[in-house]
C-alpha cells in the first residue's frame, strides 16, 4: 500500500517537507515513491486540494 497523488495536484509543495521518509518528489504533479511510502497519511492531511489518497 502507498498513497498516490492525483491530477488535482497544483504542485504547491505543502506535502514534500511533511513526509517523514522523504518519499515525495517534485514535478508538474508531485509523485510518491510506492517503495518508500509507509502509508502514514501525513501528506494527505496537509494537501490543500485533497489530491492525495490511499491507492
Give the number of other CB atoms < 10 A from CB of residue 41: 12
* Residues whose CB falls within 8 Å of the CB of residue 8, separated by 6 or more in sequence, listed in order: 49, 50, 51
Q: Can you say whether the dihedral through the CA atoms of 7, 2, 52, 15 is positive or negative?
A: negative
User: Which residue of 11, 21, 29, 55 would you call a contact of ligand SF4, by CB under 6 A?
Assistant: 21
User: Which residue of 19, 30, 47, 51 would you call a contact of ligand SF4, by CB under 6 A?
Assistant: 19
User: Which residue of 17, 26, 39, 50 would you call a contact of ligand SF4, by CB under 6 A?
Assistant: 39
Establish if 10 lies at the interface with ligand SF4 (CB under 6 A). no
State the residues that interact with ligand SF4 by CB under 6 A. 3, 18-19, 21, 23-24, 32, 37-43
Amino acid at each position: 500500500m502507498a498513497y498516490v497523488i492525483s491530477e488535482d495536484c497544483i504542485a504547491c509543495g505543502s506535502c514534500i517537507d511533511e513526509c517523514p521518509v522523504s518519499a515525495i518528489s517534485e514535478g508538474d504533479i508531485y509523485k510518491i515513491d510506492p517503495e518508500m511510502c509507509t502509508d502514514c497519511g501525513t501528506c494527505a492531511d496537509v494537501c490543500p486540494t485533497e489530491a492525495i489518497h490511499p491507492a
